[in-house]
Structure 1
Amino acid sequence: MIRLYTKNAVLLAVVAAASYELAAEFGPWPALLTCAAAAAAASAAGAFLLRTSGVGRVTWRNRLAGYLIPWGWRLNRGKLWPIPVVSWAVWTAVCGAAVLLRPAPDQPALGTRAALLAAWVIDAAALVYLLGTLARATPGGRVGPIWKLVAVIAGVISASVGLYVGGQTTAALVVGGGPPVVVGGGFGLLLLFVVTVGRNTRWN
């Protein structure tokens, strides 16, 4: 699992860096259109590789497709088409975020923009995970709290992007990066407690 997350993080970083450089060299719209076209080609190629791969066998086609269309597997419900569609949307969104954070006069430092991009990626990953949970939920299941979380995360992303577009970069970073820091910090404290104190505690 850690290997999968690391691979996806590296893929996102490569796509974001390439889009960033394209935007700096050719401008935002050519970079975004080029990235969207490349993402569409990669997603279509990944779907073709999966469609033509043998059932029950892991070959180079499956492995290569895993790099081209790594997103949307929790949303597919046994169908192929959602995987390339979601993957294209994710690649294009990452490109758009990188283009939005391109160098410009009076812009904050590169480290701040990189942190903001990382916050948006984490928020979007949480949103996709929750949507996948909803897609897998049984009919009649209690999904009300999950829908509320989806609405909150979507609001956080929208507010953060809006603040950045409005020139409030610090506020955008606080809004977009605050929830992941709080949740990650809480989980880290819980893990630290379990490792240091909890191992000597009788939970029964």
Structure 2
Amino acid sequence: MNTTFATILEIVGTLAFAISGIRLAAAKQFDWFGAYAVGLVTAIGGGTLRDVLLNATPFWMINGSYLTVTAIALIFVIIFKQYLVKLENTFFIFDTIGLALFVVVGVEKTLMFGFPFWVAIVMGTITGSVGSIIRDILINEEPLLFRKDIYALACVAGGIMFYLGEKMGFNSITNQSICGISVVAVRLLAVKFHWSLPALKDDTTNPIKD
């Protein structure tokens, strides 16, 4: 992937994810610093874990613009908070955009490091989803990834489509587009048609006896 284009994707993804995190923090009435912290870990959490696993310096430690982008996201939410907090679909929109862009970056960066495609799909999923896990823990919510909502599977679907595109000989830009669109499409279709994975239930009863 072109380095400049990869940076652009990461910055746009950072902005989208940061807005989604700060928006949820605003709904919980966090102060500005708390909201910034939530937005930041939402945006850099997945990419940081990916880079650590790839034995690379975390991307935000090389380019400080991601911290600035999160600050811009905070200002955006402060100005438009009354609209963003009221509109439930704003969280979904920004979260889905960030998810799609970060999956693309995660897959591409892993392949650039010479790992096989199955590793790239796992890393794309980590890049897209780990930040949201940290976000939900910080705001005291059950992580979205562990609910029945189609989230991580959307990342996997995007990675698989990227793989199929490469096998068919598509160029890099086409593969990136297919991957990102697939993530968005799966999430939208899952919401529209109420797709979900079955919940794992423990139907056994073990009453405690005195």
TM bucket normalised to smaller: 0.3 to 0.5
Instruction: Normalising by structure 2, report the TM-score.
Output: 0.35
Considering Cα pairs closer than 8 Å and 6+ residues apart, tell me whether 1 or 2 has the greater RCO: 2
Max Rg structure:
1
- TM-score (normalised: structure 1): 0.36
